[in-house]
Copies of this chain bind each other. A is one copy, B any other.
């Protein structure tokens, strides 16, 4: 019914090692197994992995992602808390983007200095 860990790895961009690790730490709960005991990833699993990856690349720690995953597992009653987590994270990402912009301006300035140096 689902796809193998190999295919899930290709689709998600995460290594098979990482997929197993994410399951182990509780980021992705109870991936189904086929008759031979092999993992079988469903479409919802893949969508969840995709969202996890976005949280991850925006700098959320594995520990916090675990807390979010745990809330999600507990069902709709935790929706407000999950929303607050995402909102807090959103603020951190905005700050990070602003900081990167500032630092980039300094780097750009340095690059300009080098150009000026090379021309003279």
Q: Which residues of A contact B (CB under 8 A)?
A: 51, 54-55, 57-58, 76, 79-80, 82-83, 86-87, 89-90, 93-94, 96-97, 99-101, 103-104, 106-108, 110-111, 114-115, 117-118
| Complex CA–CA separation, A114 to B96 (angstroms) | 24
A115 partner, pick from B76, B83, B117, beta carbons under 8 A: B83
Residues from chain B with Cβ under 8 Å of A51 in the complex: 106, 110
A79 partner, pick from B89, B106, B108, B117, beta carbons under 8 A: B117
| Complex CA–CA separation, A76 to B89 (angstroms) | 43
Q: Is the CB of B111 within 8 A of A83?
A: yes
Q: Is the CB of B114 within 8 A of A90?
A: no
Instruction: Give A115's nearest chain B residue, CB to CB.
Output: B83
Residues from chain B with Cβ under 8 Å of A94 in the complex: 104
Q: Is the CB of A100 within 8 A of B103?
A: no
Instruction: Give A111's nearest chain B residue, CB to CB.
Output: B86
| Complex CA–CA separation, A101 to B94 (angstroms) | 9
A12 vs chain B, min Cβ distance (A): 15
Q: Is the CB of A104 within 8 A of B114?
A: no
